[in-house]
Amino acid sequence: MDLFEQFKEKIQKQPQTLVFPEGEDERVLGATVRLAQDQLVKPILLGDQSKIESVAQAHKWSIDQLTIIDPKQYPSADLSAMEAAIVARRNGKTDADTAAKWVKDVNYFGTMLVQMGKADGMVSGATHPTGDTVRPALQLIKTAPGSTHISGAFIMQKGDQRYVFADAAINIDVNAATMAQIAIQSAHTAKVFDLEPKVAMLSFSTKGSAKSAEVDKVVEATHLAKEMAPELADQIDGELQFDAAFVPKVGQAKAPGSKVAGQANVFIFPSLEAGNIGYKIAQRLGGFEAIGPILQGLAKPVSDLSRGANEEDVYKVAIITAAQALVQ
């Protein structure tokens, strides 16, 4: 079954409430109308009611199933409660005046709806840069237990082939501890996508075939990941070159006895540079669909759209976000 058909089956049984800070955007509105009609998500759109209605009327879309909140018209008592919650959550790092400014920003407002339990997740980024989506999430939702960093994964799909590539979106240069966290986060993401994770810690060396500080980092990251998540110890291996991780015969020759070599479906890159190049090669030369980036390591799901996203992209990312919310 197609990945999104699988997700639809799951989330239709328990539709999640997602907030979309960019509710006036045509792509976002079109996607949320479909999500509501398909009974997949309960959308909350942020924006000016009249502007949203105008876009809907131009396309003859019914918005009866959507909840629309204009932060500028939000009841003062509820706004004060939100501001107080920000101050409390920031534990002295943010004062009341700053909190009052933050709630005027749709991404901070939407993030607080998630943090306060009024929404299960958030999808933004259609008109905002990544930082505007990620910063409020890190400041207010914060990382999940056991994580000090977030990361960005791509699901690479072609036919019945499905793989996880990370980090390919967030951390420019990673040390061993961060790489280990990314491996564990990506293993959990794989499970969301119905993959039993086999995690390859990638390098230009396999089991000591080359010597350098870069190789040592991957070796150390592999050990740390196994220590941090002993339940995944047999499902993580490194350091492995990509061919050793992916091709069974090469894996047997270069890493005999490994339970991951030649069978990997989760690939952890040693830097953002490598991960970004790698996923785009698979996408452009290999013909894989790249789904993401999927933010990993947050306590509650927040997804960042590309500003070049179309309506279908918004629709699919929302489905993924709802699926993440079901298991968090």
pLDDT tens sequence across 124-174: 999 998 889 999 999 999 999 888 999 999 999 998 899 999 999 899 889
pLDDT of residue 130: 84
- Can you say whether the dihedral through the CA atoms of 98, 117, 43, 167 is positive or negative? positive
Query: Do 218 and 238 meet the contact criterion of CB atoms below 8 Å apart?
Result: yes
Mean residue pLDDT of the chain comes to 94
pLDDT of residue 193: 86
Task: Grade residue 291 by pLDDT with cuts at 50, 70 and 90.
Answer: confident
pLDDT of residue 207: 96
Reported as half-sphere exposure (CB side, CA atoms, 13 A), residue 55 has a value of: 19
Instruction: Please give the structure tokens belonging to residue 204.
Output: 């230009």
Task: Report the pLDDT averaged over residues 277-293.
Answer: 93
pLDDT tens sequence across 26-59: 999 999 999 999 999 999 999 999 999 999 999 9
Query: Do 187 and 197 meet the contact criterion of CB atoms below 8 Å apart?
Result: yes
Task: Grade residue 1 by pLDDT with cuts at 50, 70 and 90.
Answer: low
Task: Report the pLDDT averaged over residues 6-16.
Answer: 91
For 113-125, b/e burial (b = at least 16 CB within 10 A) is bbbeebbbbbbbb
Q: Any residues with CB less than 8 A from the CB of 161 and at least 6 apart, and which?
A: 288
Task: Report the pLDDT averaged over residues 256-276.
Answer: 96
Cβ count near 134 (within 10 Å): 21
Residue 76 has pLDDT above 80, yes or no: yes
- Amino acid at residue number 236: I
* Alpha carbons 207 and 234: distance in angstroms, whole number: 16
Task: Grade residue 102 by pLDDT with cuts at 50, 70 and 90.
Answer: very high
Q: Any residues with CB less than 8 A from the CB of 90 and at least 6 apart, and which?
A: 99, 139, 140
Task: Report the pLDDT averaged over residues 90-114.
Answer: 95
pLDDT tens sequence across 163-217: 999 999 899 889 999 999 999 999 999 998 889 999 999 999 999 999 999 999 9
Instruction: Please give the structure tokens belonging to residue 118.
Output: 């009024």
* Alpha carbons 222 and 38: distance in angstroms, whole number: 42
Share of the chain above pLDDT 70, in %: 100
pLDDT of residue 307: 82
